[in-house]
Structure 1
């Protein structure tokens, strides 16, 4: 399941299609996802059997974003989140090592930590007070000697640990699959573009303002594929924002890049221009940022600064604009609901007054009540509403836009830029790559 597609995609080739007779739960794979990714059955977004299989074959096997290192300052710092629908604690243990555990007591299953974040030396279950260390060990059981006797072995009853935790550019990822490839192998050529986004200034990035959380009644794949590179919706869905002058009118002069394993990015050349006017002082900051990247990668790097939008398969997306960066995770909460976690990300080197301005701009555009966020949430929920009925779940969504216009990114922009790239911005090449990879994972029983 973890074979990389990067070599084939980087040469402009589509990886081998999943056999149409393979099974995705009770369905033929070919009935749900066309071999070339150009059509996706509506049942993929409403069938509970498919959703349950996703928890097993995608969320229990893929590397998932669980937080930012700047949220875990000092030993004993922790945050809580979910991996799929499994609640987890991400903690920097008392020795400084990053770990993740299932947030469920080994006695009766209650969450041992119910705070969003904090600093602690132990996690104590509120049900029966079993207490665990930041290394996951069971260290205290009330009345152990009198109620359990001498045969009770605490060493066998620690918290269930996520076997893999790793970081890249300040981002923390975790994976439940003991046989998973290393994080950088899973990300493949996407690591190159993450580097452009996360290490372009000395000191890296940090999350500011905490985590915004809200729910939307939509299947998790809809926002994931949108951020993979759906620019076609911007003039329609976000037309009011353009009229207000909050962003420039969209052109078709841009790129959509697939880097393998379902990951992709896309933007106008020169980055997503969120607004005609730039905050005083920020234009100089961006110029310095671009200059540093051009010095490292050549003049073509300016076409990818900022990166734009992107999705790391399955459910982590980002928006890197001329004003702010937003990380978000589309946590599945059932077949027709997500909980959104959203962070405002800035360069540590940014002056404090610009960080404050960027945080406001992020909230205005993509906070829970943001101009663009409300546009998207309303549309996405209307998609799910239209799929609820017997007739509405019949038929297929169409993903043919820009078909056949992909070529190696290096042909369009030169080395060292990897992946397979479309020569226009408004294409559904990234969505096709997303669903081809999705079908491979959903039909794989061996991983």
Structure 2
């Protein structure tokens, strides 16, 4: 590989030094600079976001022909559509003529998209269908031989989740997901009809690096950060007739939990809760148990799960269920987009509880989201205040790690590369940073 890996002059040795991965020495350290160095951020956009699969949207957002939804791949705007052919398409949201964004709308339904600048027209598959007619246009033969269609994005769909890539060299989406696909299956199997993202997304910016969002699924931070929420739950428990039923996290430390590392940077943590029947899926325990058996039913209903699909998707099945998209804006600012996700056709009472739980904990006025963003922004500010080159945030649980599947994973048919035995462990991040380093040091 060429020692020079980007225009800013980062070299291979510098990048390799960013992740100190030596489990035989009991060491896994991540350099602070990867969260605050603009040159590293620039290389991340090219080597990570523009070279691998990135989550774009869910099929439930584009159910009809000519539906579209706006998305992003790193800093690049993308449109995801359903064409006349019923297929999912994706292309860069940039006119072939002068590069104007075709639409600023988040979603809609249009048979054609007309560029607001000079009126070039594209159909819902990205094909250019109208430019000024000859002879008035005066175009050259060279121009006539060019493709005027929108720049296509490679599409992969798994269980309704739509991924896109700017690289034609990516493996099939199923191969990319690896063992994490089984966790998506456990979500999609909650209904024979699959999942749907509910209308009313939450979007906000966080003044912290995008990778902080992926780390924030750990159980370790829950009690220090969310004390107000825990106090609220304890007050509610004193009132038998409390109108909002929520999962009870006060017994997390005494119940089984852990984490799993999968291929290609994907990871998950999980923990059993004592009151699964207060979760939305608890309304369907009888059906779920009948269809999947008691072990998997317990996993689907009584265990909370947070899955990271590297680099930009979090599927969080806990207090309510959410799909969270992570969009880097700059080295120290991230756009976060959150949807409540639900099994299609669930009972009305379950849907109402799902929405109320989403509002209570993960919604814009909930008690979790503001807490989490505040501490991530505190980390970003703190990166400027210390001379220590490495963070010590990836050691907890290293002595708990076992290669391959643990008993719980084997019982559920999961195939992780490593298993951790405590939801408070931070080792789930190791696979994220190994994939980060792999992509960042890949040859051009």
User: CA shift at 1:283, angstroms?
Assistant: 3.2
Partner of 1:251: 253
Distance (Å, rounded) in 1 between the aligned partners of 2:59 and 2:332? 31
Tell me, yes or no, if structure 1 residue 232 matches structure 2 residue 220: yes
Instruction: Work out whether residues 410 and 417 of structure 1, in 8 Å CA contact, stay in contact via their aligned partners in 2.
Output: no
Partner of 1:32: 18
Instruction: Report the aligned-residue RMSD.
Output: 2.4
Paired residue secondary structure (1:91): strand
User: CA shift at 1:288, angstroms?
Assistant: 3.4
Greater RCO, 1 or 2 (C-alpha within 8 Å, sep 6+): 1
- Alignment partner for residue 355 of structure 1, among 334, 351, 357? 351
Partner of 1:309: 306
User: CA shift at 1:200, angstroms?
Assistant: 2.9
User: CA shift at 1:155, angstroms?
Assistant: 5.5
Distance (Å, rounded) in 1 between the aligned partners of 2:48 and 2:330? 14
Instruction: Work out whether residues 200 and 292 of structure 1, in 8 Å CA contact, stay in contact via their aligned partners in 2.
Output: no
- Alignment partner for residue 76 of structure 2, among 74, 80, 86? 86
Instruction: Work out whether residues 43 and 393 of structure 1, in 8 Å CA contact, stay in contact via their aligned partners in 2.
Output: no
Tell me, yes or no, if structure 1 residue 434 matches structure 2 residue 432: yes
Tell me, yes or no, if structure 1 residue 285 matches structure 2 residue 273: no
Partner of 1:260: 263
Paired residue secondary structure (2:341): strand
User: CA shift at 1:259, angstroms?
Assistant: 1.3
Deviates more, 1:408-417 or 1:374-383: 408-417
Distance (Å, rounded) in 2 between the aligned partners of 1:119 and 1:413? 43
Partner of 2:47: 57
Question: Against the structure 1 CA distance between its residues 350 and 53, is the aligned structure 2 distance closer, same or farther, given a 3 Å change threshold?
Answer: same
* Superposition pairs of residues 81-160 of structure 1, within 5 angstroms: 81-142=71-132, 144-149=134-139, 151=141, 152-153=143-144, 156-160=147-151
Distance (Å, rounded) in 2 between the aligned partners of 1:309 and 1:165? 24
Return the TM-score normalized by structure 2: 0.87
Partner of 2:243: none
Paired residue secondary structure (2:72): strand
User: CA shift at 1:226, angstroms?
Assistant: 1.7
Return the TM-score normalized by structure 1: 0.86
* Superposition pairs of residues 201-212 of structure 1, within 5 angstroms: 201-212=191-202
Distance (Å, rounded) in 1 between the aligned partners of 2:41 and 2:414? 35
- Give the total of aligned pairs: 414
Unaligned runs of at least 5 residues, structure 1? 1-18
User: CA shift at 1:241, angstroms?
Assistant: 1.0
Instruction: Work out whether residues 137 and 155 of structure 1, in 8 Å CA contact, stay in contact via their aligned partners in 2.
Output: no
CA displacement 1:293-315 (0-9 Å, x = unmatched): 326xxx26624544511200111
Unaligned runs of at least 5 residues, structure 2? 234-245
CA displacement 1:8-43 (0-9 Å, x = unmatched): xxxxxxxxxxx9x99793452342111247111111
Tell me, yes or no, if structure 1 residue 294 matches structure 2 residue 285: no
